[in-house]
Amino acid sequence: MAEQVESFEIDLEKERKEILNAFRGLLRSCKRRTKADTAMIRKAFDVALEAHKEMRRKSGEPYIYHPIAVARICSEEMGLGARAITCALLHDTVEDTHITLDDVEDLFGPKVRLIIDGLTKIPEVFDQNASIQAENFRKMILTISDDIRVVLVKIADRLHNMRTLGSMAPDKQLKIAAETKFLYAPLAHRLGLYTIKSELEDLSLRYTEPRIYEQIEANLKSTKDVRNRFIRRFTAPIKEALSEQGYKFEIKARTKSISSIWRKMTTKEVPFEEVYDLFAIRIIVDTTQALEKSDCWRIYSIVTDFYQPSPDRLRDWISTPRANGYESLHTTVMSPSGKWGEVQIRSKRMDEIAEKGLAAHYKYKESKDSDSKFDRWIAEIRDLMESQHNNALDFVDDFKLNLFAEEIYVFTPKGDLRVLPVSSTILDFAYDIHTAIGDRCIGAKVNNRLVPLSYQLNSGDQVDIITSPKQRPNEEWLRFVTTARAKHKIKGSLNEERKLIAQDGKEILERKFKQHNIRFTHENISALEKFYNVNSGTELYYRIAKGKIDLTKLREIENQHGLLQVKKKTKRPVKKTKVAPISEIDQKKDTIIIGEDFKNIDYSLAKCCNPIPGDSVFGFITINEGIRIHRNNCPNAEHLQSKMAYRCIRARWKGQQTVERVASLRLKGFDQVGLVNRLTEIVSNQHNVNIRSISFETIDGIFEGKIKVLVYDTYHLQELMGKFELVEGVQRVERWDDGADDYMEDTTG
């Protein structure tokens, strides 16, 4: 026993030394720090170490490793200063330990308190109408206008959690990965943290689509040597020419991220072998800010002396930086061996901003244009904050609209540049200029041509908005707009107009009450809400003003001394689907075994992804349709898991299933005589399964076919797909999902 204790003490001593080494590594990573900065960071470490001393992570290591790692990401990968590092060390203390916000303020001041408050989650409450994930995200985002470091520390926290996600349970991995891909990766992109954004997307894919991730990773490893040889040959003449011209430069080769490769494979519908730009050559020139633009274009000229550029693949983000401050010159060129290669040209300053995003902007104060773009984005967040009537899920939807990845550049009549998301319309542009212009907009002249409100703008368009004092926003406008700002402003105008109309309805009702000797009280208004089946007094008044409520029916309601007595309506018993009340379900312990009864609650297979035995699945609790079983890689899984994880539950298939289920396949290739006959023969004769439906379309010798078959499980389906791939002419066979109709039913009803 004594030996065991001694051994345990040695382990603790070893851990203590490793923790101190980790902290020293953190201090070494803080390049620019004063003695006061060092003292503050050390004090934060001491407080966090003491507060978390009894805690361990799921992996078994001391919890303090996590805040140290988050702080190091803030320092090394984001270039943040001492206060952000202090907050990173303390970020979980208020949420998980005895430390309070008052303690934090006493020790480190009000600024650190503000940041820690923004990082502290709202306590979980089991409210069927609330998403804790969405509420916490909204709380964090609302602090952006006070201190952007809240979001930067949170992204660092999420990055380390994703790096160590392997120790979590599979259902937790899926929910965290889905939320990361849905919200945190786009947020990192919007803040200019490209390297972190790519890693978050890759780690998300690793857990949401493990087979795909492993396959692309293996393909990259197997082609690495060939790729490296090509890069050496490709860059050799460029290096020689740049050196002769006297440039101080660095050339890096960056392989495209796994998630980016997968995105290209799905959007272009090509296999891995046909993704031509697997890597990019980055030329970083060390020059002054005054010369960097001209130097980058001269280097572009040198590159294109050796290699032919693709005319439609030039991206000039030096003359017009992206909305998040990104500056670089991109071109795609053809090598002598017939392979395309992407070349990125930028200065050392531009590269630091591209790597460290927003944090690097504060280092380069001269970059006023970029700072103003961030200020403008923060102003848009303030606009969203004003929308108090929105619930957290609406807020997340609206906020996500602001995390656009692609932009267009549009000009005012005077030549001022405005940056908008792709697919923006005339209305988006009008509201981007001013709310009053948006509210009165009736159309526009784009490049001197008259266009309607719904016209989608393109880069380079010059837009002259036409207004009318008689114009008012209407509900249909919400379908035309893309930006969160425009949606918020339109909803605000509609609500104000609705309130004015409701005021008229209230006056009409007051007059009617006087005629019938009914008192105008809260109780009587509530009685009318029940009688006319409306959900609020404002809605009641609005419908009265619009003539949608028949007030002659007031005579039918019993009036006792001025008080209305609404009798309860007797309804015929209707057979309902058993709904899943959240209170009956323990998400941490319960698992649906598909094929067995689950707490007398109905569940069914989602039509949007048609899961079959062998698929990894989860259950989603609908409002009044029981539980729907979705595949983990369902097109809608990311939305459900990230925004409404509180309604998701573990699910798995029962041992051996003998029930046939529908699976959809899509085939592509070159049309051949008798192709359809050969495919149907495989299904019917070789596999003895039934075809539910089949359709083929051929355009210029290329066919696309969709087949729905009945199979027992994923093994059965894979076997069938393998047979299809052997048919002459067939190039690709893939699982195909019907769409998102079932998802809409899940989330709304």
Catalytic status, residue 147: no
- Edge-to-edge strand ranges of the sheet holding 730-735: 691-699, 702-711, 661-670, 730-735
What three-state secondary structure class fits 609?
coil
Helices (H) and strands (E) in the chain, counts: 30, 22
Residues belonging to the chain = 749
Say which DSSP state 456 is in: B
* Block residue for tokens 């923006």: 424
Determine the Cα–Cα distance for residues 296 and 284; give it in Å rounded to an integer: 9
**Under a CB-based contact definition with an 8 Å cutoff, are residues 236 and 223 in contact?**
no
Q: Among residues 426, 305, 325, which one has the least CA distance to residue 373?
A: 325
Q: At what angle do helices 65-72 and 35-51 cross, to 10 degrees?
A: 150
Tokens representing 252?
Answer: 């890096």
H or E segment at 116?
helix 110-119
* Block residue for tokens 């009587």: 524
**Under a CB-based contact definition with an 8 Å cutoff, are residues 91 and 157 in contact?**
yes
Reported for 14-18, long-range contacts at CB under 8 A and 24+ positions apart, including other chains, are 15/62
* Block residue for tokens 């849905």: 182
CA 667 remoteness from chain centre: 30
Give the CA distances from residue 78 to residues 191, 358, 361, 746, in Å, rounded to whole numbers and listed in that order.
Answer: 11, 8, 11, 39
What three-state secondary structure class fits 574?
coil
Sign of the CA dihedral running 120, 121, 122, 123: negative
Tokens representing 603?
Answer: 């569940």
Determine the Cα–Cα distance for residues 236 and 231; give it in Å rounded to an integer: 8
What three-state secondary structure class fits 423?
coil
CA 333 remoteness from chain centre: 32
**Under a CB-based contact definition with an 8 Å cutoff, are residues 465 and 441 in contact?**
yes
- Parallel, antiparallel, or unpaired: how do β-strands 340-347 and 558-560 relate? unpaired
Catalytic residue among 95, 124, 386, 719: 95
Catalytic status, residue 96: yes
Which ranges constitute the DSSP H helices of 644-713? Answer: 675-681
Determine the Cα–Cα distance for residues 605 and 627; give it in Å rounded to an integer: 9
What three-state secondary structure class fits 421?
strand
Reported for 490-499, long-range contacts at CB under 8 A and 24+ positions apart, including other chains, are 490/427, 490/431, 490/438, 491/387, 492/386, 492/387, 493/435, 493/439, 495/389, 497/472, 497/473, 498/538, 498/542, 499/538
Backbone angles phi, psi at 331, to 5 degrees: -145, 155
Give the CA distances from residue 322 to residues 46, 160, 374, 608, in Å, rounded to whole numbers and listed in that order.
Answer: 41, 27, 11, 36
Catalytic residue among 96, 105, 539, 590: 96
Which ranges constitute the DSSP H helices of 290-406? Answer: 292-306, 348-356, 358-363, 368-386, 392-401
Determine the Cα–Cα distance for residues 73 and 723; give it in Å rounded to an integer: 48
**Catalytically active residues, by annotation:** 95-96
